[in-house]
Amino acid sequence: MCWLRCHKTIVGLGFVLLLLGLTAAPPAGADVRARASGPVAAPESRAWAAARTFKGRAFDTCRAPSADTMRRWRASPYRAVGVYFGGRGRACRSQPHLSSRWMRTVEGQGWRVLPLYVGSQATCVFAKNKKNVRIGRHPWKQGTAEGRDAVKRAAALGIRPGSPLFLDMEAYAHGKKQCARTTLLFVRGWDREVARRGYLAGFYSSAESGIRHMERSRRAGVRDLPSVVWFARWGARSGLYSEPVLRKTAWMPARRIHQYAGNVRERHGGRTLLIDRNQMHAPVARIG
């Protein structure tokens, strides 16, 4: 991208974005340029003032375990748990344990919670089981509506403003320009709505697809990007600051989660769970 670097003073931002295939025309009034401070928009910066962060190990699992299992898993090295609280693309729709009471109970046990929302997926998503929930013809509007739904469902579980809500976007062919434009508009619409309602917009995806796409967009100056990133790179040594697709200054400080292993069975306190393993330094849910 040397041509862009060498000519950035004379090339309009909109033209650069068009060349990169990172955006399409947003709704009227939607500002595509980022603030100089990075991906945090003004409403989201207010949410940061209320945020609480955690640094350490976390696990996520498709169905929220019972409160008793969570109590027993205090014997594990993990102290944060990812839960799938909503979204039409969620694999485990049945969540018999997940409730506001569960949230209060596990927080009282000493757990931090990472809320995940599996909404509509990229039109070029790889996973066959996600192709039936692809983004439609109006990505910004759809992203806004699903962001509103995410906040509503989070609030019903006692997840307070100032908490991160992570949009789960499974791996997709981000090199396809039209798909990239559609996906980015959806993500930005979701982010803006979540931020407008006082929450932190998080984003989960594979390092080589969604995260690479967001980082490329960040470098191009796109705004309304996620405030926190959760990147999946399995088989790599756990590490927050060695991810090759992210610049070392990107999403810093306390804005990263690395999912470094997936679909592994672990047993603690006499209970076995199928989990993904994570290392994190990022905001966690405020329960109340």
State pLDDT tens for residues 209-249.
999 999 999 999 999 999 999 999 999 876 899 999 999 99
For the segment 57-88, what is each residue's pLDDT rounded down to a tens digit?
999 999 999 999 999 999 999 999 999 999 99
CATH label of the domain that carries residue 78: 3.20.20.80
The total of structural domains in the chain comes to: 1
Q: Tell me, what's the pLDDT at 13?
A: 38
**Average pLDDT value for the chain:** 88
Q: Are 163 and 284 in contact (CB under 8 A)?
A: yes
For the chain, how big is the Rg over CA atoms in Å?
18
What's residue 239's pLDDT? 80
First CA to last CA distance, the chain? 47
The listed range with the strongest mean pLDDT (28-42, 198-212, 238-252) is 198-212
Please indicate whether residue 16 or residue 107 has the higher confidence score (pLDDT). Answer: 107
Strand partners, 237: none
Can you give the pLDDT at residue 59?
Answer: 98
Q: What is the mean pLDDT of residues 114-127?
A: 98
- 19 occurs within a structural domain: no
Percent of the chain with pLDDT over 90: 81
Nearest 10 degrees: Cα torsion 16, 18, 20, 25: 120
Residue from 157, 161, 176, 284 nearest 230 by CA: 284
pLDDT at 206: 98
pLDDT band at 43 (very low <50, low <70, confident <90, very high): low
What's the pTM value of the predicted model, to 2 decimals? 0.87
Q: Is residue 209 part of a domain?
A: yes
Is 112 part of a structural domain of the chain?
yes
Q: State yes or no: pLDDT of 1 exceeds 70.
A: no
The answer to whether position 51 is within a domain reads yes
- The verdict on residue 12 lying in a domain is no
Which of 31-35, 78-82, 119-123, 208-212 has the weakest average pLDDT? Answer: 31-35
Q: What is the pLDDT of residues 189-200, one digit of tens each?
A: 999 999 999 999
pLDDT at site 237: 78
Contacts for 44 with CB less than 8 Å, ≥ 6 apart: 191, 195, 200, 201, 227
| Alpha-carbon dihedral sign for residues 278, 206, 99, 153 | positive
Q: Is residue 21 part of a domain?
A: no
State the Cα–Cα distance between residues 98 and 175, nearest whole angstrom: 37
**Residue 39 confidence (pLDDT) above 60:** no
Domain assignment present for residue 27? The answer is no
List CB contacts of 97: < 8 A, sequence separation 6 or more.
Answer: 63, 64, 65, 66, 67
Q: Inform me whether the pLDDT recorded for 179 exceeds 80.
A: yes
Q: Is residue 114 part of a domain?
A: yes
pLDDT in tens, 88-113: 999 999 999 999 999 999 999 999 99
Report pLDDT for 26: 55
Confidence (pLDDT) at 42: 58
Domain containing residue 241? 37-284
